[in-house]
Structure 1
Amino acid sequence: MTDQKEKDVQSPEAAHNPSRRDALRYLGAAGAGSVVLGAAGTGATVLLSKPSVKKVKTSVNIVIAGAGAAGLATASRLADRLEGAKITIIDARKEHYYQPGFTLVAAGIKPGDYPVSKTKDYLPKGIDLIEERVAEIDPDANKVVTESGKTVAYDYLFVAMGLKLDYAAIEGMDESLIGQNGMGSIYHGPESAKRTWEQMSKFADNGGVGIFHRPNTEMKCAGAPLKYTFITEDYLTRRGNRSKAEIIYNSNNKALFSVPIVSEKVRMLFEERDIHINHDRDLIAIDPGKRIATFAKPEGSEEYQYDFINVIPPMRAPDPVRYSPLAWKDGIWAFDGWMEVEKSTLRHVRYRNVFGVGDIAGVPKGKTAASVKWQVPVAVDHLVAELEGKTSDAHYDGYTSCPMITRLGQAMLVEFDYHNNLTPSFPGIIAPLEELWISWVMKTMALKPTYISMLRGRA
């Protein structure tokens, strides 16, 4: 497999491995080093660089539930703008995962440890860390209860707990099956992404039937299932086995992507590359021994025999939020328990001392690192303004981005907002619906340093 991987990487038509110097020179000339996180976009009317204003003195008690991207970015922003505040972050995870890197690992582009670092590496000085899971949130009593039963009171709460990958909702599915019998899953974690690459690479060597899909729920980075379909097809082509393979993409509804113009572009590319599309399909069961996947459809259900499948589980709010008063009580985000926040301020509709940032937020768009980059400064600005006895005009307009890899060496940098408007950061330079090498470089080289800067409150 190593020899084959080297052949894939060194393929000249892929432009897979440009020199770092050339890539950085290009990015610097375009001013595009951080556009993949929306640095030049219009996602919020609020200062996004590291603030130089005088800190606000306060003795307020702030708790942050969750130490993922949104939680760490929130901690850094608060520490930067407040003096004297007691800030506590609660999360049991010792390792931090750079989740945009999972697809790159599963594509054989980056090593398995590429997304992994330590949570403590990004904590600002003076922040208290409680290394436990959040078990309960009681917004009526202004308290969080940890797994051990410890009660943590707050004046203000930022909920940044991400989401739950509900593999158990798929009959016959278990996370331990990832990496066996042709089964992959790009969302579960770095090790699973590595095992997914091994299974996908075998499929690219041999051909057969490949099944790709997305769940019938809200999800993080909704472009990831599409880009992994493209990547797999490209590997089959490069290894001379495309004619031996059938690739099927089962969409959960009538579209391939939430933005209509992007959905149509993906449909056209799938058609050009002979990727078969089925609509209104939802994975409900899997038999890993027989390699059979069962999808619900309007007329009942349908079984698919596969040689490789990329399983994307339903995604829901973590139980401490889903079964708390913070969740939506009705509407499209109620069943899966997404947090009821104002879409422009990320402030809870009913509990005004609570904010929800990142994947947990029940808003029309988001659930990407780019969303976090724009949401967190807005939410923090509203809190700081209130502590000063002022109001904030900062608002989040739903900006998010998806660097959608379409083949090794090319990607489309898709940026959009709540209203499905394309919001390109460099119109006329980086076209959002064109497959470009520079968009590939931004995804594979520029995004991670910008992401780390975001965690530290500097981007």
Structure 2
Amino acid sequence: MSAINNTAVFDVVIIGGGSGGISVASSLLKRQPDLRIAVVEPADHHFYQPGWTMVGGGIFTPESTRKPMADVMPKRVTWHQTKAERIDPKSEYVLLANGETLSYRRLIVAPGLVIDWTIISGLEETLGVNGVTSNYRYDLAPYTWSLVQSLKQGKALFTQPPMPIKCAGAPQKAMYLACDYWRKQGRLGQIKPAFCNAGEVLFGVKEYVPALQSYIERYGIETAFKHRLTAVDGTAKVALFDVAGESGSQIVERPFDMLHVVPPQKAPAFIAASGLGNAGGWLDLDAHTLQHVRYPNIFGLGDASGTANAKTAAAVRNQSPVVAHNVVASLNDQPLKAAYAGYGSCPLTVQRGKIVLAEFGYNGQLQPTFPKWLLNGTKPTRAAWVLKAKALPWVYWRLMLRGKEWLN
């Protein structure tokens, strides 16, 4: 990429106006209000995506998870409502889809990940009809709840693709909330739920498995591991799975009356195309400072990052002050003293009113926020439900996005 004239110059350019981009912009301005910051984000609306599982369970309204982007964008940043096309890390500028270029002293990459519905053959054309749904889309989460309410008998399949995905517990949350509703309605005996997981275990951190397994047994859920969804025939109501076995893999057909799909996910292509990706195409960052391993004036956070943490909003809540602190230190030629320990949280909604609050960092090390006597995260508790349903949305909208770093 050659140099371009009339490039706008900023102290910090942030790619992405999701939870990572907005929270880190606010945290930067709290630390150094005179920074010239540009945020690149094409969307008109900002979404509280952790709430979509609750929408699919009939607990939240979809409208409560969405606000106009202009309402959450910090007032002192310059908002470029377009996409980032490429980054030139050597010349230190970003090329935008509208033809503009932005020069930066420091770049923060937080574009989120890409949900790829097209990888599963036949899926796109049947989403939202024929009993096929997904809580991973704002407009489909209400359809999930509609299906749960209307299903009286039959087979209900809940899928999980290969990792990494955002919020690895979300596939199970949808399933548990549905089963809890069917149990309370006296229908669970006529409905056969199955968890079709491309992985080999129920959950990646062993301390939380016993509590989850108890709910698998309580609801009579079939667990089908090494099952990767490859195709959906919505009209025939048949799902095809690639099932791995000792002698190779085979394609298995499973009929359904309801199918909740979690689609495969990947990093945005421009990261690898700009020379910033690791072997998997994810943003190549130091696991603790969140600084790029090859370009010291580039930092990153959120779902596009190649760090080994769970991809959750709680991870971003902990990453954003680390990035803000280290970017300001870098701009002032000071050492990077803030470190991220891989924290992520997955509030596993096992029934309406109870949650297993999984909190862990790198290498599956437990990182509980609260003492065990107050909230034991390895057990289903009412306290964790109140935190998820009442406190965390308020923390997100009123604190995190405004640079108020509570619970970090």
Asked whether the two chains share a fold, i.e. TM above 0.5, the reply is yes
Partner residue in 1 for 2:391: 446
Structure 2 counterpart of 1:184: 133
Is the alpha carbon distance of 1:370 and 1:77 closer, same or farther for their aligned partners in structure 2, counting shifts above 3 Å?
same
C-alpha change, 1:322 and 1:266, in structure 2 (3 Å) is farther
**Residue 223 of structure 2 corresponds to residue 277 of structure 1:** yes
1:341 pairs with 2:289: no
SS at match of 2:147: helix
SS of equivalent residue, structure 1 residue 144: strand
- The separation in 2 between residues aligned to 1:268 and 1:139, in whole angstroms, is 50
**1:114-134 CA-partner distances (Å, limit 9, x unpaired):** 101011212223210001112
Query: The residue matched to 1:89 in structure 2 has which SS?
Result: strand
Against the structure 1 CA distance between its residues 279 and 143, is the aligned structure 2 distance closer, same or farther, given a 3 Å change threshold?
A: same
Which residue does the alignment assign to 1:13? none
What is the aligned counterpart of 1:201 among 116, 138, 149? 149
* Partner amino acid, structure 2, of 1:86: R
In 1, are the aligned partners of 2:37 and 2:77 still within 8 Å (CA)? Answer: yes
Listed as ranges, the matches of 1:210-221 within 5 Å are 210-221=156-167
Which of 121, 128, 133 is residue 71 of structure 2 equivalent to? 121
The answer on whether the counterparts of 2:28 and 2:325 sit within 8 Å (CA) in structure 1 is no
Contact 2:289 2:336 (C-alpha < 8 Å) held by counterparts: no
Structure 2: how far apart are the matches of 1:340 and 1:200?
40
Equivalence for 1:130? 80
Distance 1:323 1:283 in 2: 28
Q: CA deviation at 1:263?
A: 3.0
Which of 283, 302, 306 in structure 1 is aligned with 2:252? 302
Which fold has the larger relative contact order, with Cα–Cα distance below 8 Å and residues 6 or more apart in sequence?
A: 1
Where do 1:93-132 residues align within 5 Å?
93-132=43-82
Counterpart of 1:167 in structure 2 is 117
- Counterpart AA for 1:357: L
The reply on whether 1:361 has 2:305 as its aligned counterpart is yes
Q: Identify the match of residue 263 of structure 2 among 313, 317, 320.
A: 313
CA contact 2:46–2:72 (8 Å) conserved in 1: no
Structure 1 unpaired stretches of 5+: 1-58
Deviation at 1:271, TM superposition (A): 2.2
Cα distance in 2, alignment partners of residues 300 and 137 from structure 1? 42
Distance 1:80 1:370 in 2: 20
Report Cα offsets for 1:110-169 as digits up to 9, x if no partner.
112110101121222321000111222222221211112221121211011001110001
Please state how far the C-alpha of 1:213 moved relative to its aligned partner. 1.7
Matched, 1:291 2:240: no
2:374 to 407, 422, 429: 429
1:13-59 CA distances to partner (integer Å, 9 max, x unpaired)?
xxxxxxxxxxxxxxxxxxxxxxxxxxxxxxxxxxxxxxxxxxxxxx9
Match of 1:420 among 345, 364, 380: 364
Deviation at 1:83, TM superposition (A): 4.0
What is the match of residue 27 of structure 2? 77
Q: Displacement of 1:368 after TM fit?
A: 0.8
Whether contact under 8 Å (1:65, 1:158) holds in the other structure is: yes
Cα offset, 1:322, TM superposition: 3.8
Q: Please give the alpha-carbon distance, in whole angstroms, between the structure 2 residues aligned to 1:364 and 1:317.
A: 14
Offset, 1:264? 4.0
Partner amino acid, structure 2, of 1:441: V
Unpaired runs of 5+ in structure 2? 1-8
Counterpart position of 1:45: none
Measured after TM superposition, the shift of residue 103 of structure 1 is 0.7
- Per-residue deviation at 1:178? 2.6
Letter in 1 for 2:287: K
Alpha-carbon distance in structure 2 between the residues aligned to 1:105 and 1:155: 41
Kept in 1: contact 2:130–2:234 (CA 8 A): yes
Quick one: distance in 2 between partners of 1:278 and 1:271? 14
Instruction: Name the CA shift for 1:275/1:403 in 2 (closer, same or farther; >3 Å).
Output: same
The amino acid across from 1:197 in the alignment is W
The equivalent position to 1:63 in structure 2, one of 4, 8, 13, is 13
The alpha carbon displacement at 1:266 in A equals: 1.8
**d(CA) in 2 for partners of 1:403 and 1:240?**
26
Q: CA deviation at 1:281?
A: 1.1
Deviations 1:168-210 (A, max 9, x none): 0111111x63321111100112x2111221122212xx12101
Q: TM-score, normalised by structure 2?
A: 0.93
TM-score normalised over the length of structure 1 = 0.83
Secondary structure at the residue paired with 2:155? strand
Say how many residue pairs are matched: 391
Matched residue, 1:233: 179
Check conservation: 1:178, 1:196, Cα contact below 8 A: no
Q: Report the secondary structure of 2:94's partner residue.
A: strand
